[in-house]
Amino acid sequence: MNLEDIRANVVDQDRGRKLEIIDPWEGKPTGMTLWLAGPDSDTQRRARLAMMDELAERAEPDGTITAANREAARINCLAKTVLRWEVQHEGSALAFNHKNVLRILKAADWLQAQVDAFAGDRRNFAPERG
C-alpha cells in the first residue's frame, strides 16, 4: 500500500458503506438501512472537529462540561457520519435530514451502538478489491 492508495481509500470512505440495522432481540433486519462515512473520511474528521467546537461552546465558565452536554455532542457527531438512509415511518419514507437522524439515534441506545460500532470499524471500509 502506498500513499496514493491511502488517499484513495479516504475518498472512498466519504462515499459511505451500507449498514442494515438489526433488531437486537431476534437478530433480524429492522428494515432501516443507513450509509455511513468511514473513520478516516473527511466527513468523520469534520464531525469530530465540530464536536470539539460544540464541547468548547457548552463548557461552563470553569471549563467543565456536563455529562449531558458531552452526550449531546457525541450523538450530534455520530449523526453527522450518516450520509443517507432508507428509513420508513408510518408507512412512508422518513425525510433524510440532521434533525431526523438525531431523532432515530436517540430512539434507542442499541441503535446508536450499532451505528457507532460500524462507523468506527475500519474493516467495514477496507479498499474494495476487484
Dist CA 85 CA 72 (whole Å): 22
Q: CA-based angle 64:119:20, to the nearest 5? A: 130
Q: Would you place residue 130 in the very low, low, confident or very high pLDDT band (cuts 50, 70, 90)? A: low
Report the predicted TM-score, pTM, of the whole model to 2 decimal places.
Answer: 0.90
Query: How confident is the model at residue 66, as a pLDDT?
Result: 95
Q: How do residues 52-70 score in pLDDT, each as one tens digit?
A: 999 999 999 999 999 999 9
Q: How do residues 76-93 score in pLDDT, each as one tens digit?
A: 999 999 999 999 988 999
Query: How confident is the model at residue 8, as a pLDDT?
Result: 84
User: Has residue 129 got a pLDDT over 70?
Assistant: no
